[in-house]
Chain A
Amino acid sequence: MALWFSRSRNIIAHLVKTKISPINQSLFHAKYISYKLPYELVWELRKEYSSTATGMVFRRFESARAGEVEEAVTYSTSDYDDDDDEINDAENKTIDFPGGSVAFTQQMKFISESPDKRVPCYRVLDDDGYPIAGSTYEQVDKEMAVKMYKSMVTLQIMDNIFYEAQRQGRISFYLTSMGEEAINIATAAALSFDDIILPQYREPGILLWRGFTLQEFANQCFGTKDDYGKGRQMPIHYGSKQHNFFTISSPIATQLPQAAGVAYSLKMDNKEACVVAFTGDGGTSEGDFHAGMNFAAVMEAPVLFICRNNGWAISTPISEQFRSDGVVVKGQAYGIRSIRVDGNDTLAVYSAIRAAREMVVREQKPILVEALTYRVGHHSTSDDSTKYRPLDEIEHWKTARSPLARFRKWVQRNGWWNDEGETELRGTIRKQLLNAIQVAEKSEKPSLVDLFTDVYDNLPLNLHEQEKSLRETIKRHQKDFPSDVPV
């Protein structure tokens, strides 16, 4: 910083000495200076070269120099309107700068840190499941609507049962998607199967929608020989190549720059598909979020970024995560089109994702969707969220704002669903899940070779040696090792 100061002083000294107006310098140079200089130096420049500036402007700059920026300097809260055009003479009106021409203004106007109004949230169904008059949305037919609703219920029951299984000590960990069923299912329904998913971790509904079976979920959570991840990762770290769903990785936000790379490949291959990359609100604070957004924008990579803004990152509320108007506004800063949607409104999510997906694929550019929702469950089975948030807040979102209840009202009002169907569905899914758990529990674990394979494509010498030595150890000390891992 100090370095920059002295260097810029030199530039100005030089300009003053040689009497070259910065405006007449190469365009880039002029822009560079007017953007980067500390105010006092800008002021010097203006005094020297600006004959059009008004006395008022000067006073403002002087105030700014005296350290009274807050009072003296105006800022705009909404747009960049310039009502002083008439003061500018023609040639000084704009500067042609990489990225397009930029209008000059003689007002020292700061862009506000927050807009007058928060970005509105796109919604179709009201709290009672009635379509809001005048809303634009994708038509959803009976078959689709019922399939979506059933999937949401299935996801909810799966969460309940696996959560319980963890509580009973049958699996080591679990994490629910409760409260976020609409984002999970409506997103999945709005995508094409070829779209590639780079998940965070609270999106198992996408897999469910794509046909990943309850048994397959159970196999992963129980780490059986049939788990595609070969029992190596903690429960809920699903992944399925067949379902175009990249394997979940715990480190937050790492998938986001990867998404730009995956999407760039789709683009180069002229695929009619995009990448759908998920993040939580917490994830947007990581450097990787910013890298991913910027790369996708600059590379014009077809990525649909979906931020599930559920208000919390473990115990950290969004007020301690960012001070912007949520996440949606970050799109524009990167040159990415964005929309905010009611994440608990199944029709709104479905419609917004369909439209966004269309644009991403057609225009070959990224889009950012911020879905407002709430993490109704604890962060995971390792967390007790009543320690840091009020019970009635949880209860409110669980009941009054339940995405399932709202969508069900709409589906049922259309005559596509009824209470008997509900009871039957819940019973069937429950049975299927209990069965899946039983099967998984009885299954063998992956065999010992799977400890060493896949570190590389082939086993290098060190791993050969280590495998051999481990097998000898197991022979000597059988009781040290779990009996359900075939040797």
Chain B
Amino acid sequence: MAFGSLRRIERFGWASSKLEQRGRSIVRRLSTFTEVDESKKNSSHQETGKSNKSVNLFSAINQALHIALETDPRSYVFGEDVGFGGVFRCTSGLSDRFGKRRVFNTPLCEQGIVGFAIGLAAMGNRAIAEIQFADYIFPAFDQIVNEAAKFRYRSGNQFNCGGLTIRAPYGAVGHGGHYHSQSPEAFFCHVPGIKVVIPRSPQQAKGLLLSSIRDPNPVVFFEPKWLYRLAVEEVPDKDYMLPLSEAEVIREGSDITLVGWGAQLSIMEQACFDAEKDGISCELIDLKTLIPWDKETVEASVNKTGRLLVSHEAPITGGFGAEIAASIVERCFLRLEAPVARVCGLDTPFPLVFEPHYMPTKNKILDAIKSTVKY
């Protein structure tokens, strides 16, 4: 039961207020952090291709796919319902532009999609496969975990499927229930040989997706579907890439470090604003790439603040937050002034009616910030 559109979301009571919060925060954050323009870092034609338009996240993804297909004739985009533009419109216009042989619908079979993509990638192509929802990636788990991740290693680097990128919308959306809401990133973070990347905004999404597509390793790229329409940001028209495995300090602070990724960052940021009113200075880090992750940036920050809070939508037990907490305790044990706090989803399936209770809300984060600082 796919969501062809999230337009109707405004109609729901709780979802609507929650949603506005997220939307507002994104816009606010973007104005706060315009100076953190990653594209300036690595772009040689920053001056020339200067036209930036405000676009939402699905359009930014769409732009990245256009560029990927345009710049490499050996690139392909495919998946369920991709031909007409995809249920979230990320692939709009691609098959008209690049033809049905490069952009196409597949049969309804995730193991087939990923297996096919691995084969295509193994022949030196860029295979950009879409899984309609991250919740439906599991039939392809074997192909990802046992095949894509080990393709290079098991052949002594004779073969690789580095041209593989798997895109999938993930996360809560206000009314998705069990199977249109999950955040399965931790499963994939347990698999050496693949990279896991999650963008927080349109500009990030475009640059990180292009990097993922062009990275010589298979990448699982989770897109925060709550933000597809909601997050709007100025995105450079041009072809640009943002580095993988580099975290970004998106807000500087001195009392506590907050680490997150994807849609959760905007919630965490609201908590930072509120904490500031109480005189607590929070540093906020977007991890962006979950494996291999940028420990050094987080470590440097925690060495400065002495406190760490990690937050994600996925259930707390066995979530990627646990890995971050353990690593930082190893590296910063003597510097830590409080236990590492984790504000995450509950250890239940993702519930429909109880979504507000399940979620790591702003106030849950704020409470945890306060108690960590007061510890």
Contacts and interface: CB of A to CB of B under 8 A. Distances in A.
Interface residues of B, number: 54
Nearest to B88: A382
A233 B2 contact: no
Contacts of B106: 320
Interface stretch (A180-188, A284-292, A341-349, A413-421): A284-292
Given A315-B105, A451-B348, A476-B363, A234 B136 contact: no
A321 B105 CA distance: 9
A463 B315 CA distance: 11
A286 B354 contact: no
B323 interface: no
B357 A470 contact: yes
Contacts of B351: 231-232, 451
Contacts of A305: none
B248 to A, nearest CB: 29
Interface string B63-98: 000000000000000001101110100000000000
A252 interface: yes
Nearest to B7: A382
A175 interface: yes
A236 B1 contact: yes
A232 B109 contact: no
A335 B133 CA distance: 34
Contact of A231 (B3, B4, B354, B367): B354
B107 A463 contact: no
B83 A315 contact: yes
Contacts of A282: 107-108
Interface in B331-362: 346-349, 351-354, 356-358, 361
Contacts of A230: 353
A480 B175 contact: no
Q: Chain B contact residues: over half helix, strand or loop, or mixed?
A: loop
Interface in B12-42: 12-15
A388 B84 contact: yes
User: Which of A285, A315, A387 has most B Cβ within 10 Å?
Assistant: A315
Contact of A383 (B2, B108, B346, B352): B2
Contacts of A463: 346-348
Contacts of B3: 382
Contact of B180 (A231, A250, A455): A250
A169 B348 contact: no
A101 interface: no
Contact of A316 (B85, B108, B179, B363): B108
Contacts of A482: 13-14, 353, 356
A462 B108 contact: no
Given A463-B347, A466-B346, A473-B363, A485 B4 contact: no
Contact of A452 (B107, B348, B352): B348
Interface in B99-145: 104-112, 135-136, 138-139
Contacts of B2: 314, 379-380, 382-383
A172 interface: yes
A169 B12 contact: yes
Nearest to B14: A482
Contact of B175 (A234, A313, A378): A234
Nearest to A248: B1
Contact of A473 (B1, B136, B367): B367
Contact of A287 (B85, B104, B109): B109
Given A380-B2, A382-B1, A451 B347 contact: no
Given A173-B175, A232-B354, A485-B357, A251 B136 contact: yes
A381 interface: yes
B8 interface: yes
A448 B352 contact: no
Contacts of A387: 84-85
Contacts of B11: 168-169
A213 B177 CA distance: 23
Contacts of A445: 353
Interface in B183-217: none
A288 B139 contact: yes
A321 B83 CA distance: 13
A451 B109 contact: no
Contacts of B174: 172
A204 interface: no
A166 B351 CA distance: 19
A403 interface: no
B364 interface: yes
A232 B3 CA distance: 18
B95 to A, nearest CB: 11
Interface in A222-267: 223, 230-234, 236-237, 249-252
22 contacts: A166-B8, A168-B11, A175-B1, A201-B1, A233-B178, A234-B177, A285-B112, A315-B81, A315-B84, A316-B83, A316-B108, A320-B104, A383-B87, A387-B84, A448-B357, A451-B346, A451-B354, A451-B357, A455-B349, A466-B346, A470-B357, A476-B367
Interface of A: 166, 168-169, 172-173, 175, 201, 223, 230-234, 236-237, 249-252, 282-283, 285-288, 313-316, 320-322, 378-384, 387-388, 445-446, 448, 450-452, 455, 462-463, 466, 470, 473-474, 476-477, 480-482, 485
Given A285-B108, A381-B8, 12 more contacts: A168-B11, A234-B176, A251-B135, A283-B108, A313-B108, A315-B83, A316-B83, A320-B105, A451-B346, A470-B357, A480-B356, A482-B14
